[in-house]
A and B are shown apart, each in its own frame.
Chain A
Amino acid sequence: MTQSAGNTTLDYGRERARMRIASKYIPLLATASVVVILYVYGCAAYGPRFASLRVLVDLFKDNAFLGVAAIGATFVILSGGIDLSVGAVVAFTSILIAAFCEHHGVNCDYLRRSPDAAVAFYRYRHLATHHLHPLLAIGVSLVLGSLFGALQGCIIHFYRQPPFLVTLAGMFFARGMGFVIHPQSLGIKQPFYIAFLNDIKIPLVAGVDIPFTVMCLAVVFLVALFIAHYTRFGRAVYAIGDDEQSATLMGLPAGRTKIMVYTLAGFTSALAGVVYTFYMQSGDPASCIGFELDAIAAVVIGGTLLSGGVGFVGGTAMGVLILGLIQNLIIFNGKLNSWWTRIAVGLLVLVFIAIQNVVTAASRRTTRAAAG
């Protein structure tokens, strides 16, 4: 190194700083390399059909609603919590919108016949013959989703309950309410959905276009990036995830942030439900069972620590792409059992947890060495 004492310290400082930046980004780089490896393998194994623009756009098209939900789940996991109610809220929102848009409104005949649904019937009876404009239905469901999330957040914070249990209860409740609204899947034939929204798309080459759902995903992604890195709320989420007690001692509004995080998660779950109705042109109370686990897997593969405080929204987006790529590769193969997707995702999650452990251990060692 250099001779003078001042220069040595400077060099040591620079080296330490480089290591800290690198260790923060290592899981993100690992995720990015997995995306690249999968895509390159697909191009090499399946030829020009896989390397086409259509496959790329389909990747976003088919996973738009997972992406929206996973982005919301990222904030929850960053804050050190977890949200198991995502799938149930998506299904509930989808059937609520479908029921509002179709001419029998909410299925009150069914409600009248089953005694357990008396409360729901009472609440919805005036909607039985109305069919709401889809925009109003979407607005109502987004508000309901946010309120549901806020309720969960309040129970978690004020009663100091573990998020796992509260959101588990929320999941059962939302799932049941979905079936109470309408017990079967319901197609949406409203012209707003079929004609108007289908025409909002950005045409690309050769019959491929970017549909409305992908544009929604892009907007949600950009807004989430902004919230995470350029707002006080985002910084507070990271701080709380890292160490809640230190964050509170520093003067950050831990309670308010936590409730807002779960409200945001409820909102994005409801928004994912809305995107789902655009995508499927139907609502189904029995859909998205186990969907929250896909969202959590995407977040973990994206480089976010399950204990919170470390992670990126961009990582989650890449995690969603990885899930989509694996499924696409298996379908292109045409001979593999589709359950290999689950096996591959499980292995990847384990690999990423291992990477995260190694990186945190290494950075703790350097900080301890530097301090000592």
Chain B
Amino acid sequence: MLKRFLRVPTRLLCSCLLLAFMIAGCDRGPKKLVVGFSQIGAESEWRTAETESIRSEAAKRGIRLQFADAQQKQENQIRAVRSFIAQKVDVIILAPVIEPGWEPVLREAKQEGIPVILADRGISVTDLSLYVTLVSPDVVEEGRMAGRWLATKLNGKGNIAELLGTPGSSPAIDRQNGFREAIAAYPDLKIVKSQSGDFTRAKGKEVMEAFLKSGEKIDALYAHNDDMAIGAIQAIEETGKKPGVDIIIVSIDAVRGAFQAMVEGKLNCTVECNPLLGPPIFDAIEAIRAGKTVPKKISLKEQLFEQSQAKELLPTRRY
């Protein structure tokens, strides 16, 4: 009885599949360069600026960009990279959300001969040939610059609270290490609190509230990104203290929001973390396709911006 019931749908299914495979076999016109970009998500202004830079650069150079947003999950990124391999893209750009766990999928890409460029964050692999180059801002130097500036501002003495980035991500690790390297020369500078705000505004506010409630004296705040600093500023204002005056705040990213906060006198200093990775990445892609060797790490140059410069520089900020 079930067989009779299924006869028509089965025939329909077979003819559909046949039609689909026939259409699938048709060719699709002249080939553009196809690049697959697996982005982490859209969790901060910085991230969207990075995405926009890569998108606009691809459009400018006439390259078709296949974009996949992973919603902060590594499984989604692995799925996206596999899909790019199946789509036989020419190059894969990967912004890895965390460092471990990439060996299997990058090995597949290597097998298929698709070069992989890492954007913005590094990975921990034993076989370095699994990626061609890492294009990123010099994250360790950002931590060092923030540390040096804060040490000078506090005259080498004070309690520092630290808001870390996403645990396990290379910017969080590098900014932490760079900062500690810079303040190592000042024994009176102590990091009394250090916890993750996950690079988001909401979490930054939550964790700062906890820091302030703990009762320990905090002279300065070092936030790994501007969004967390802005959240922390809200938390500080709610306790009646003045951010930027009672607590010196230094953060990293130099997005427009940070400049706005500096103009209002709430943020003291921000270190630039250049998200405009589009041009250097596509330059590297063109070099790879031309057969030239590319350096293993391409770092972008950055600078530090203080409160005094904020007002005049705010209109020039592109992100």
Closest to A329 in B: B83
CB-defined contacts of A284 to chain B, threshold 8 Å = 74, 98, 101, 168
Closest to A183 in B: B167
Write the nearest CB–CB distance from B175 to chain A, whole angstroms.
Answer: 15
CB-defined contacts of A286 to chain B, threshold 8 Å = 167
Q: State A169–B64 Cα separation when bound (angstroms).
A: 47
Q: State A14–B82 Cα separation when bound (angstroms).
A: 50
CB-defined contacts of B82 to chain A, threshold 8 Å = 58, 61-62
- Tell whether, in the assembled complex, residue B101 and residue A48 are in contact, meaning their CB atoms are under 8 Å apart: no
CB-defined contacts of B296 to chain A, threshold 8 Å = none
- Tell whether, in the assembled complex, residue B75 and residue A280 are in contact, meaning their CB atoms are under 8 Å apart: yes
CB-defined contacts of B295 to chain A, threshold 8 Å = none
Q: State A282–B77 Cα separation when bound (angstroms).
A: 14
User: A44-B23, A284-B74 known; A331 and B83 CB under 8 Å?
Assistant: yes
CB-defined contacts of B98 to chain A, threshold 8 Å = 185, 284
User: A58-B82, A207-B112 known; A48 and B25 CB under 8 Å?
Assistant: yes
Q: State A338–B83 Cα separation when bound (angstroms).
A: 14
- Tell whether, in the assembled complex, residue A40 and residue B100 are in contact, meaning their CB atoms are under 8 Å apart: no
What are 14 A-B pairs with beta-carbon distances under 8 A? A40-B20, A43-B21, A49-B87, A51-B21, A62-B78, A62-B79, A185-B100, A185-B101, A187-B101, A280-B75, A280-B101, A330-B68, A331-B80, A338-B69
Q: State A323–B17 Cα separation when bound (angstroms).
A: 20
A328 within 8 Å of B (CB atoms): yes
Closest to A56 in B: B86
- Tell whether, in the assembled complex, residue A21 and residue B104 are in contact, meaning their CB atoms are under 8 Å apart: no
A327 within 8 Å of B (CB atoms): yes
B153 within 8 Å of A (CB atoms): no
- Tell whether, in the assembled complex, residue B24 and residue A331 are in contact, meaning their CB atoms are under 8 Å apart: no
A332 within 8 Å of B (CB atoms): yes
CB-defined contacts of A331 to chain B, threshold 8 Å = 66, 68, 79-80, 83-84
CB-defined contacts of A33 to chain B, threshold 8 Å = 9
In addition to A198-B104, A328-B83, A338-B68, 11 A-B residue pairs with Cβ atoms within 8 Å of each other are A21-B5, A43-B20, A49-B87, A51-B21, A55-B83, A279-B75, A280-B100, A281-B103, A281-B104, A338-B69, A338-B76
What 1/0 flags go to A207-243 for Cβ under 8 Å of B? 1000000000000000000000000000000000000
A184 within 8 Å of B (CB atoms): yes
Q: State A250–B113 Cα separation when bound (angstroms).
A: 63
- Tell whether, in the assembled complex, residue B167 and residue A48 are in contact, meaning their CB atoms are under 8 Å apart: no
Q: State A18–B1 Cα separation when bound (angstroms).
A: 7
CB-defined contacts of A183 to chain B, threshold 8 Å = 167
CB-defined contacts of B16 to chain A, threshold 8 Å = 36, 40
CB-defined contacts of A207 to chain B, threshold 8 Å = 111-112
- Tell whether, in the assembled complex, residue A327 and residue B79 are in contact, meaning their CB atoms are under 8 Å apart: yes
- Tell whether, in the assembled complex, residue A58 and residue B112 are in contact, meaning their CB atoms are under 8 Å apart: no
Closest to B27 in A: A47
- Tell whether, in the assembled complex, residue A280 and residue B78 are in contact, meaning their CB atoms are under 8 Å apart: yes
- Tell whether, in the assembled complex, residue A47 and residue B86 are in contact, meaning their CB atoms are under 8 Å apart: no
- Tell whether, in the assembled complex, residue B79 and residue A338 are in contact, meaning their CB atoms are under 8 Å apart: no
Q: State A54–B16 Cα separation when bound (angstroms).
A: 21
CB-defined contacts of A330 to chain B, threshold 8 Å = 68
Write the nearest CB–CB distance from B73 to chain A, whole angstroms.
Answer: 7
Main secondary structure of the interface of A (DSSP, over half): helix
Q: State A332–B83 Cα separation when bound (angstroms).
A: 7
Q: State A284–B96 Cα separation when bound (angstroms).
A: 14
- Tell whether, in the assembled complex, residue B74 and residue A287 are in contact, meaning their CB atoms are under 8 Å apart: yes
Lowest 8 CB-CB distances: which A-B pairs, in order? A187-B100, A334-B66, A282-B101, A43-B20, A282-B100, A280-B101, A184-B168, A331-B83
B124 within 8 Å of A (CB atoms): yes
Among candidates B28, B64, B74, B124, residue contacting A280 with C-beta atoms closer than 8 Å: B74
CB-defined contacts of B69 to chain A, threshold 8 Å = 337-339
A160 within 8 Å of B (CB atoms): no
- Tell whether, in the assembled complex, residue A339 and residue B71 are in contact, meaning their CB atoms are under 8 Å apart: yes
B128 within 8 Å of A (CB atoms): no
User: Could you say which interface size class chain B belongs to?
Assistant: 35 or more
A136 within 8 Å of B (CB atoms): no
Q: Which of A7-22 contact B (CB under 8 A)?
A: 14, 17-18, 21-22
CB-defined contacts of B70 to chain A, threshold 8 Å = 338
B67 within 8 Å of A (CB atoms): yes
Q: Which of B115-151 contact A (CB under 8 A)?
A: 124, 126
Write the nearest CB–CB distance from B178 to chain A, whole angstroms.
Answer: 18
B99 within 8 Å of A (CB atoms): yes
Q: Which of B87-117 contact A (CB under 8 A)?
A: 87-88, 98-101, 103-104, 111-112
- Tell whether, in the assembled complex, residue B28 and residue A47 are in contact, meaning their CB atoms are under 8 Å apart: yes
B65 within 8 Å of A (CB atoms): yes
- Tell whether, in the assembled complex, residue A287 and residue B73 are in contact, meaning their CB atoms are under 8 Å apart: yes
Write the nearest CB–CB distance from B107 to chain A, whole angstroms.
Answer: 9
CB-defined contacts of A18 to chain B, threshold 8 Å = 1, 5
Q: State A246–B274 Cα separation when bound (angstroms).
A: 67
CB-defined contacts of A123 to chain B, threshold 8 Å = none
Q: State A47–B2 Cα separation when bound (angstroms).
A: 34
B210 within 8 Å of A (CB atoms): no
- Tell whether, in the assembled complex, residue A332 and residue B101 are in contact, meaning their CB atoms are under 8 Å apart: no
B26 within 8 Å of A (CB atoms): yes
Write the nearest CB–CB distance from A90 to chain B, whole angstroms.
Answer: 11
What 1/0 flags go to A12-44 for Cβ under 8 Å of B? 001001100110010001000100100110011
A50 within 8 Å of B (CB atoms): yes
A3 within 8 Å of B (CB atoms): no
- Tell whether, in the assembled complex, residue B23 and residue A43 are in contact, meaning their CB atoms are under 8 Å apart: yes
Write the nearest CB–CB distance from B41 to chain A, whole angstroms.
Answer: 9
CB-defined contacts of B236 to chain A, threshold 8 Å = none
Write the nearest CB–CB distance from A58 to chain B, whole angstroms.
Answer: 5
Write the nearest CB–CB distance from B203 to chain A, whole angstroms.
Answer: 12
Q: State A183–B99 Cα separation when bound (angstroms).
A: 14
Closest to A29 in B: B9
B85 within 8 Å of A (CB atoms): yes
CB-defined contacts of A339 to chain B, threshold 8 Å = 69, 71
CB-defined contacts of B5 to chain A, threshold 8 Å = 18, 21-22
A186 within 8 Å of B (CB atoms): yes
